[in-house]
Amino acid sequence: MVAQLIDGKAIALQLRTKIHDEISQLQAKHHDFKPSLTIIQVGDRPDSSTYVRMKLKAAEEANIECKIINLAESVTEFEILTEIQKLNNSLDVDGILVQLPLPAHLDEAKITSAVLAEKDVDGFGPFNVGELSKKGGNPTFLPCTPKGIITLLNVSNVKIEGSNAVVLGRSDIVGKPIANLLTQANATVTILHSRTPLPQLQAYLNNADIVVAAIGNPQFVKGEWLKEGAVVIDVGTNFIPDASKKSGSRMVGDVEFESASVKASLITPVPGGVGPMTVATLLENVILAAKRHYSKNNETPKFTNPLRLNLQKPVPSDFEISRAQQPKRITQVAEEAGILDSELEPFGFYKAKVSLDLLKRLDNKVNGKYVLVTGITPTPLGEGKSTTTVGLAQALGAHLNKNVFANVRQPSMGPTFGIKGGAAGGGYSQVIPMDEFNMHVTGDIHAITMANNLLAAAIDTRIFHESTQKDGPLYKRLVPAKKGVRKFTPSMLRRLNKLGIDKTDPDSLTPEEVSQFARLDIDPETITWRRVVDCNDRFLRGITIGEAPTEKGFTRKTGFDITVASECMAILALANSLEDMRERLGKMVIASSKAGVPITAEDIGCAGALTALLKDAIKPNIMQTLEGTPVFVHAGPFANISIGASSILADKMALKLAGTSPDLSAEERQEQEGYVVTEAGFDFTMGGERFINIKCRSSGLVPDVIVIVATVRALKVHGGGPEVKAGAPLAAAYTEENVELLQVGCSNLAKHISNAKSYGLPVVVAINKMSSDTDKEHEIIREEALKAGAIDAIVSNHWEEGGKGAIDLAEGVISAANSIDRDFKFLYDTAPSVEDKIATIAKEMYGAGEVEFLPEAQKKIDLYTKQGFGNLPICIAKTQYSLSHDANLKGVPTGFKFPIRDVRASIGAGYLYALAAEIQTIPGLPTHCGFMNVEVNEDGEIDGLF
């Protein structure tokens, strides 16, 4: 008989045409679907170059972007592994192929193993090889040549199941994997190799229905060794001398074609058999990688792996609960949330930073739902906003299987070691590990401290040098020659541009321009920039600097703030990108010149260095809740004089991770989308108002629903109940049913609901249950909330039961977030005067009758307006314990005169803040401090922190 040829070229062409059509169809629906392959070739072996050109041509014909990286024959192992790592981390690369063989000095197994499993389109990595070799394994990719062989057999209608198959060759590239694939197809497989005795080898071949020859020995298999009618797959690519060829050689397989084609029923030619299929199946693997990559970037993973809570009654201390729960490794938390390994920077086992590259990768996704948690006017004990934020996230993720993020601020260690304690939530709704959450996290606050104090040092140093030098020497030292060349720094070029000096050569400035550039002429009386420390050190509130004799009598009265009060922290929270943070840091106004010109960090030449100090701090930190749902912990701007909320970047990243493909229907989107639960500081009237009018203005994001947390206890305070003090026993009015106090106090809740609804957003009230509450009291709150315009008011017992206790609240939030009852608008436009914007906030949000601007405040308003800062949003610093400026005015005071005693500028952060009360920007320590309880046990664990 004469064997029929298995035309690998024709079958490969069909497969490549199918691949091209599939790409075209996908791109018609998803315009950003762009499959890409990168091939690494080491050296310039002629055979390797031929194969690479074939793959490149085939990829181009299939509409796959293909890039070749040529490395020198002498490349080191470290260099090639570094290149692979870059490709592993690249968002633009779907598949990576290392062209084999590699030079002898390189460890081939180590290098091919370095390729990520999801990009290992050759199928040679340890994961894919291991999965292929085990029973029930699930490799991400099959090796190309074996996969192509199976395709050839299937297309040629060769019956594999029950057949007797012989594989000649035991390489990891062809022999072993094709043997595994044939076994999986239920053939009886025998592997032979170069050390198999020839008689034994011939005997096995003589009984084989299918022969796969991949031994690398030209024309080794003879026709007389074969079984009549056998199917022969020749994988060999060998070159033998042939004077009739222009090259002097020709390609032959491992099978003697002439004699084998007489015995076999089907046979692959060489060339034109297996070779084209190897390339075609490679392209098929690239498409598979690209589709998976695209799907991973667009699909919202459901949360399906919660940590179990061991609920106990009475509820143990927060610290005992936190210590009793074993957290997941943060790498697992991130993977479940859809964060790539290349986007994660672990800090130990349970916290990590997340790269901003994630935003680029997920740019095309439609944001998930955005839930803002705020509260009523609180008591000094707090009303559980953080606990509610965490509990709601646990309910959405661990119990309703939604992709969810809780986004919270990083707490300052000053209050942690003072009297306030931590801010990780409480009971069975916490961020864990709570000691790591409340101490350091990944060092962002320390970075803020360094950046802030570098600028403070730069300001006083500049004043000192300007006061002791004339223009020429000052300019010469500011712009020194290095290796005979003088150059302006980027900050200097920005200052020149601000001054209208269009020159880049330092030697070309006129004496007048030199003086204008070099002399900031800062008025020390106008300096607003203070040093910071993350500690409640009350004795740093007012200090005198410059007392050392080396400062030549230059002294100045100043003081310290707590680190989270730094404008650098506000910028970290409000920046939309690294570039945006750099611009904002440069715009920070630290003083005025004696001529009244605002002096910025850019003028000082410090903005670039500040950015360098904060380049890692800008990356959000990821942790987890008690039930294993992810939490972004990032930024912590002081709630009294800033927005008191976590960062815009954390919100944006979480919303993309919780987001969905743009191609979904409304019904599909609602089913798949996740939720981001973020918290605003203090009550809605302060924290919520700033969140929307300042943070949302910067981010362009708008909440889908506002959750207002209320407690029976706090509402009774606003109904006229006895004063509540931290550390003091609660009066009976708060531990026993008192409908009258509660009914009156609900007016405070109604005012917050009204305030929230004025932004055109739906409102849900979360009634944070406490053990002394009664059902009747809860029903009164619900009735009053609905009467005031809330969509729903839902009792939540997350402190005692974790996410399980907040399921009803979560379902109510989902319903409200998907309602169409919204018509968003800001409270005010930024165009009106500073006075008008302050009056709008005071009257509309607080209930003031009029606003009084004290002389110092009016002076500042006039100055900032003159300097061009009058069109910024406003942040009003006042007490959090009343809707008014007076902490003693409970309930819903109205018609009062609202005093503005001072106005200050946070130009880099992008707002002015008006002071209506004396706000301490560095708290003091109490008699018995939190730090007195802290110890480290023999296991190195922190005890007594909370």
- Taking only the tens place, the pLDDT of each residue in 490-534 is 999 999 999 999 999 999 999 999 999 999 999 999 999 999 999
Q: How confident is the model at residue 602 (pLDDT cuts 50, 70, 90)?
A: very high
| Phi, psi at 454, each rounded to 5° | -60, -45
Which residues lie below 8 Å from residue 31, measured CB to CB, with a gap of 6+? none
pLDDT, mean of residues 829-852: 97
Q: Does 614 have pLDDT greater than 70?
A: yes
Peptide bond preceding 103: is omega within 30 degrees of 0, i.e. cis? no
CB-based burial label for 940 (10 Å; 0-12, 13-18, 19+): exposed
Measured between alpha carbons, how far is 132 from 675 in angstroms, rounded to an integer?
38
User: What pLDDT is attached to residue 914?
Assistant: 95
Residue 867, phi-psi category: left (phi > 0), alpha (psi -120 to 50), beta (remainder): alpha
In sequence order, what DSSP letters do the residues of 779-834 get, joined into one string?
Answer: HHHHHHHHHHT-SEEEEE-HHHHGGGGGHHHHHHHHHHHT-S------SS-SSS-H
What is the mean predicted confidence (pLDDT) over 190-217? 95
The reported pLDDT for the residue numbered 852 is 96
Rounded Cα distance between 845 and 424, Å, is: 29
Residues with catalytic annotation? 55, 99, 122
Average pLDDT over every residue of 103-127: 93
Element (H, E) at 533: strand 531-533
Select the more confidently predicted residue: 845 or 239.
845
The angle that helices 607-614 and 490-499 make with each other, rounded to 10 degrees, is 140
Average pLDDT of the chain? Answer: 93
Instruction: For residue 111, give both structure tokens.
Output: 């290098």
Tokens of 121: 């389109």
DSSP state of 660: B
pLDDT at position 417 over 70: no
Mean local confidence (pLDDT), 137-161: 95
Dist CA 683 CA 710 (whole Å): 10
End-to-end C-alpha distance for the chain, whole angstroms: 87
Binned at pLDDT 50, 70 and 90, residue 1 comes out as low
DSSP state of 530: -
- For residue 628, is pLDDT > 70? yes
Tokens representing 513? 């321009």
- Give 295's contacts (C-beta < 8 A, 6+ positions apart): none
Strands (DSSP E) contained in 316-452 are 344-346, 352-354, 369-375, 404-408, 425-426, 429-432
According to DSSP, the residues that pair with 520 across neighbouring strands are none
- Distances, alpha carbon 126 to alpha carbons 42, 120, 142, in Å: 21, 10, 12
Across 289-298, 352-361, 837-846, 873-882, least confident range: 289-298
Opening angle at CA 866, ends 864 and 867, nearest 5: 65
Find the helix or strand (DSSP H, E) in which 95 lies.
strand 95-98
Q: Which of 800, 789, 794 is nearest to 813 (CA)?
A: 794
What band does 114 get if pLDDT is binned at 50, 70 and 90? very high
- For residue 101, whether the previous peptide bond is cis, meaning omega lies within 30 degrees of 0, is yes
pLDDT score of 420: 53
Give the separation between CA 638 and CA 659, rounded to whole angstroms.
Answer: 30
* Cα→Cα distances 843→402, 687, 896, Å: 40, 16, 9
What percent of the chain has pLDDT above 90? 79
Q: Is the pLDDT of residue 805 over 70?
A: yes
Does the pLDDT at position 932 exceed 70? no
Residue type, position 238, single letter: N
Q: What is the DSSP string of 462-528?
A: HHHHHHHS-HHHHHHHHS-EETTEE---HHHHHHHHHHT-----GGG--HHHHHHHH---B-GGG--
What confidence category does residue 672 fall into, taking pLDDT thresholds of 50, 70 and 90? Answer: very high
Cα separation of 737 and 772, whole Å? 8
Could you tell me whether strands 352-354 and 344-346 are parallel, antiparallel, or unpaired per DSSP bridges?
antiparallel
d(CA 589, CA 866): 14
pLDDT digits (tens, 9 = 90+) for 215-225: 999 999 999 99
Work out the pLDDT band at 202, boundaries 50, 70, 90: very high
Residue type, 300: T
> In a 3-state reduction of DSSP, which class is residue 540?
helix
Based on its alpha-carbon atoms, the radius of gyration of the chain, rounded to whole angstroms, reads 35
pLDDT of amino acid 937: 79
Q: Are 349 and 370 in contact (CB under 8 A)?
A: no
| Rounded distance between C-alpha atoms, residue 101 and residue 109, angstroms | 11
Instruction: Report residue 544 as tokens.
Output: 């005198």
> Which pLDDT tens digit goes with each residue over 24-35?
999 888 888 899
What pLDDT band is residue 927 in, cutting at 50, 70 and 90?
low
The percentage of residues in the chain with a pLDDT greater than 70, rounded to a whole number, is 98
Instruction: Give the span between the Cα atoms of 183 and 741, in whole angstroms.
Output: 78
Give pLDDT, residue 155. Answer: 95
**pLDDT bracket for residue 868 (50, 70, 90):** very high
Q: What is the pLDDT of residue 656?
A: 97
Once rounded to an integer, what is the mean pLDDT over residues 109-128? 92
Residues 6+ apart with CB under 8 A from 492: 478, 479, 517, 605
**Average pLDDT of the residues in 266-277:** 94
Contact 72, 106 (CB under 8 A): no
State both tokens at 126: 């340890």
What six digits make up the tokens of 194?
């170069």
- How confident is the model at residue 763, as a pLDDT? 97
**Measured between alpha carbons, how far is 243 from 241 in angstroms, rounded to an integer?**
7
Residue 406's pLDDT is 97
| pLDDT of the residue at 348 | 95
Question: C-alpha 413: how far from its chain's center?
Answer: 24
8 Å CB contact between 39 and 303? no
Q: What is the DSSP track for 154-180?
A: HHTT---TT-EEEEE---TTTHHHHHH
